[in-house]
Amino acid sequence: MHPSKIIIAVVAVTLVAACHKIPAPLSPSPVAGNDSLDRARADSIARANAARQAEIARAQAEQDSLRAVREREQREAAQNADAMKVLAATIYYDFDKADLTEAARSLLLAKVPVLQAQPTIHLRITGHTDDRGSSEYNLALGLRRAAEAKAFLVNNGIDASRLEITSMGAEQPAVQGENEEAWSRNRRSEFAPTSGGGSQ
Amino acid sequence: MQLKQILIAAVASSALALTPAAARAQNPTVPEGVRLGLNYTLGTKPGVLVLPMDSTGGDSVRAILQRDIDYDDRATVITLDDQSARAMMPKTGDDFNYPIFAKLGVVAILRPQRSLTGITITMYDVAAKKRIQIGGFPLTDQVNSPAWRMAVHRASDEVERWIFGTPGAAATRILFSGGDKQIWVIDSDGENARKLTSVTLAMSAAWSPDATKFVFCGFTPSGSQIAVYSFITGDLHWLSGTARGLNITPAYSPDGRTIAYASGSEGGTDIMVMQEGDASPSRRITVGRGSDNTSPSFSPDGRQIAFMSGRAGHPEVYTMDADGTNPSLLTEFTYGEQAYRASPDWAPDGRRIAYESRIDGNFQIMTIDMRDRSTKQYTSDGQNEDPSWAPDSRHMVFSSTRTGPRQLWVLDAESGRMRQLTHAAGARLAAWSPILKP
């Protein structure tokens, strides 16, 4: 055999081997020769391609649905956090008064749909006062503030058994200071959501 | 009167000259702030001189007697330094040089001496130039211990009875809520402060009439509840018979059998009564109709209760019969007062009720006379709150921010004189004890 022929054969073998390793798209390129063989080969390639496409589509769908779940979860968490923020929003009062101000009413009203949407949640309402006046009487005043807030929620359809009231009077100021700025922030009712049942 | 005043002033300055500041500073038993009494109306406050006493604790005995008599506000304590006072002691027996004492403004000489079981105190009338009283006082405890000091206070109170016919109120203690929100007790002269409770939050302590225990409001997982602390056992127990939720401002009736307190619900806060040993539910005695009714204080005969109520739209002091009938407004509208009156305390003699009133935005200590309903204002600096009468119905302890942080102060309702009782920030809600028996 002529040496050049040997080289060509080697190259051809190598090329064929290389062709097998390359995962290039299989094209049903017409190959001269037996027709049925060609068709069978083309079919096989088409099947493989279809399977590949299906695989890609499935993976894509899986990813999409995962993302959707994650997004829904994030959305719900955000809504939940907003709901909790609405539930826990503090309301404020005038000096020696338990009457609900307009601002307090709208904050309380916003709690109603949240409580209705989440019927297992209970609220502990704690009334507070500023530190002026009798610290003993302030305990009673704090309770009356919490009671006014509870009555408003009950009047707006919330079951009274889900609302517990208590008072800390002037004993737990939100901010320190002997000025109207501090006093106005201490005259308040705070709302602590608890998962249902426990009325502690 | 004028002549006498001048004479005493002159003598007083010479007495001061006899008292080198350095010597005074080195002698810790001569309390700073014991004054010569020149600030007060002379003639109504007799001069009293306490002679030195030799023996263990003698300096303390003299210092305590002097301070108690000074704090009693009925006499003027004439102080001499130890050396000058010793120079005036008789060489033998009772042979005083009375004219010298008279020149110093001394009306009564008190001579404490050691006895087998404690001390004897002899009182000499300078004008009559003779011994007029002698009494023995047991002092068995360790010198300067709380019990020993209390025994000396009892001697002071008895000496004041000799001079004025009614005893002093030195043998007493004062309960209060400290800055740590626990109940503390302190002697009437500001000594021996100690903490008694360790609960989440304690306030509104009130003595039992026999002073063996006190009742207070403490915060628990089931709300604020009423507890009794026994000085005899050191134990506290929570009263059953109170509702879950808000239970505050307890007070003993004068016979010690009933505890009145305030209990809150959605329907407002009302005054309740219960028998201490009885676990049955408390009985409501106010009809607040949704208002707040707190801080009961019994009249000394036990027939009436003073309390505060917001039933008229703002806090006012009312009285009612002890069964809750016949409530009536005690404090009428007064021009300049901003309709916030609180914290009533009925004087042990029944004649006055002390309370706090909001005047120009600040709370001030007031009294109202139960016969003619005349009121008197005692304070004007800072926030002054929660008055509590001493058993002499003359002095009151109250909380005040007059020097910055809230502290307890003692006020003499006759002269208006005030002294600071506590020095740790945040003290409030004080309750003055009855006279403490041995």
| CATH code of B292's domain | 2.120.10.30
Q: What was the pLDDT predicted at A40?
A: 86
- Residue pair B62/B110 in contact (Cβ under 8 Å)? The answer is no
Assigned domain for B71 exists: yes
Are residue B400 and residue B332 in the same domain, yes or no? yes
* Cross-chain residue pair A165–B314, CB shorter than 8 Å: no
Residue B205 has pLDDT above 60, yes or no: yes
Distance from CA of B156 to the nearest CA of A (A): 35
Are residue B255 and residue B147 in the same domain, yes or no? no
Residue B267 has pLDDT above 60, yes or no: yes
Q: What was the pLDDT predicted at A25?
A: 53
Task: State the pLDDT confidence band at A116, using cuts at 50, 70 and 90.
Answer: very high
Residue A198 has pLDDT above 50, yes or no: no
Distance from CA of A144 to the nearest CA of B (A): 6
Backbone angles phi, psi at B131, to 5 degrees: -75, 130
Residue B219 has pLDDT above 50, yes or no: yes
* Cross-chain residue pair B269–A143, CB shorter than 8 Å: yes
Average pLDDT over residues B174-198: 97
Residue B158 has pLDDT above 50, yes or no: yes
Choose among B221, B290, B294: nearest Cβ to A137: B294
Residue B274 has pLDDT above 80, yes or no: yes
Residues of A in contact with B430 (CB under 8 A): none
Residue B21 has pLDDT above 60, yes or no: no
Q: How far apart are CA A31 and CA A41, in angstroms?
A: 10
Rounded to 10 deg, the angle between the B58-72 and B146-164 helix axes is: 50
Per the DSSP assignment, residues forming a β-bridge with B397 are B388, B410
Residues of A in contact with B340 (CB under 8 A): 96, 133
Structure tokens at B8: 């005493």
Residue B335 has pLDDT above 90, yes or no: no
**ipTM of the predicted assembly exceeds 0.90:** no
**B244: closest chain A residue by CA:** A166
> Domain coordinates of chain A in residue numbers?
26-85, 89-195
Are residue B105 and residue B240 in the same domain, yes or no? no
Are residue B381 and residue B416 in the same domain, yes or no? yes
Q: What was the pLDDT predicted at B44?
A: 66
What's the total number of domains in chain B? 2
Residues of A in contact with B314 (CB under 8 A): 96
Are residue B202 and residue B137 in the same domain, yes or no? no
Structure tokens at B116: 């087998």
Interface of A with B in 105-134 (CB under 8 A): 132-134
Q: How far apart are CA B242 and CA B240, in angstroms?
A: 5
Q: Give which of B219, B269, B318, B359 to mutate to test A binding, by max A Cβ within 10 Å.
A: B269
- Residue pair B403/B383 in contact (Cβ under 8 Å)? The answer is no
| Residue B268 CB contacts under 8 Å (≥ 6 apart), including other chains | A140, A144, A147, B288, B289, B290, B291, B292, B293
Assigned domain for B93 exists: yes
Length, in residues, of chain A: 200
Task: State the pLDDT confidence band at B358, using cuts at 50, 70 and 90.
Answer: very high
| Best CA proximity match to A147, nearest among B265, B247, B249 | B265
* Cross-chain residue pair B295–A137, CB shorter than 8 Å: yes
* Cross-chain residue pair B386–A134, CB shorter than 8 Å: yes
Are residue B146 and residue B209 in the same domain, yes or no? no
* Cross-chain residue pair B181–A143, CB shorter than 8 Å: no
Q: How far apart are CA A63 and CA A74, in angstroms?
A: 16
What proportion of chain A, given as a percentage, has pLDDT over 90? 58
Q: What was the pLDDT predicted at B33?
A: 39
Q: How far apart are CA B259 and CA B302, in angstroms?
A: 11
Domain range for residue B52?
Answer: 2-164
| Best CA proximity match to B78, nearest among B11, B170, B156 | B11
Assigned domain for B438 exists: no
Are residue B158 and residue B177 in the same domain, yes or no? no
Angle at B160 between CA B384 and CA B436, to 5 degrees: 65
Length, in residues, of chain B: 438
Per the DSSP assignment, residues forming a β-bridge with B216 are B227
Angle at B210 between CA B68 and CA B206, to 5 degrees: 80
Choose among B264, B310, B358: nearest Cβ to A167: B264
Are residue B185 and residue B150 in the same domain, yes or no? no
Q: How far apart are CA B305 and CA B285, in angstroms?
A: 11
Among the three residues B104, B131, B164, which one is the final residue of a domain in this structure?
B164
Q: What was the pLDDT predicted at B434?
A: 98
Average pLDDT over residues B379-404: 97
Among the three residues B164, B195, B212, which one is the final residue of a domain in this structure?
B164
Residues of A in contact with B201 (CB under 8 A): 171
Which tens digits make up the pLDDT trace of B132-148?
A: 999 999 998 999 999 99
Q: Which fold, A89-195?
A: 60s Ribosomal Protein L30; Chain: A; (3.30.1330)
Q: How far apart are CA B68 and CA B192, in angstroms?
A: 15
Residue B167 has pLDDT above 70, yes or no: yes
Among the three residues B139, B164, B189, which one is the final residue of a domain in this structure?
B164
Lowest mean pLDDT among A132-141, B242-251, B278-287, B385-394: B278-287
Residue B30 has pLDDT above 50, yes or no: no
* Cross-chain residue pair A137–B268, CB shorter than 8 Å: no
Q: What was the pLDDT predicted at A41?
A: 87
Q: What was the pLDDT predicted at A5?
A: 52
H/E stretch holding B219 reads strand B213-220
CATH number of the domain that B67 lies in? 3.40.50.10070
Q: Could you give the C-alpha distances from B267 to A162, B108, B220, B292, in angstroms and in order?
A: 17, 61, 22, 9
Which tens digits make up the pLDDT trace of B70-116?
A: 999 999 999 988 888 888 888 888 889 999 999 999 999 999 999 99
Q: What was the pLDDT predicted at B29?
A: 42
Lowest mean pLDDT among A155-169, B6-20, B384-398, B422-436: B6-20
What proportion of chain A, given as a percentage, has pLDDT over 70? 81
User: Hey, is B342 helix, strand or coil?
Assistant: strand
Q: How far apart are CA B90 and CA B130, in angstroms?
A: 13
Are residue B94 and residue B120 in the same domain, yes or no? yes
Task: State the pLDDT confidence band at B336, using cuts at 50, 70 and 90.
Answer: low
Average pLDDT over residues B187-212: 97
User: Hey, is A90 helix, strand or coil?
Assistant: coil
Angle at B115 between CA B113 and CA B53, to 5 degrees: 20
Q: How far apart are CA B315 and CA A133, in angstroms?
A: 10
Q: How far apart are CA A163 and CA A154, in angstroms?
A: 9
What proportion of chain B, given as a percentage, has pLDDT over 90? 74
User: Hey, is B37 helix, strand or coil?
Assistant: coil
Choose among B295, B314, B340: nearest Cβ to A136: B295
Choose among A136, A151, A165: nearest Cβ to B249: A136
**Interchain CB contacts (distance < 8 Å): A and B:** 84
Are residue B218 and residue B355 in the same domain, yes or no? yes
Q: What was the pLDDT predicted at A26?
A: 53
Residue B255 has pLDDT above 90, yes or no: yes
Choose among A136, A147, A150: nearest Cβ to B294: A136
Beta strands in B9-144 (DSSP E): 47-50, 76-77, 106-114, 118-125, 130-138
Average pLDDT over residues B303-324: 95
Residue B14 has pLDDT above 50, yes or no: no
Give the gyration radius of chain A's Cα atoms.
Answer: 37
Q: What was the pLDDT predicted at B55?
A: 82
Burial letters for A20-53: b for 16+ Cβ neighbours within 10 Å, e otherwise? Answer: eeeeeeeeeeeeeeeeeeeeeebeeeeeeeeeee
Residue B322 has pLDDT above 50, yes or no: yes
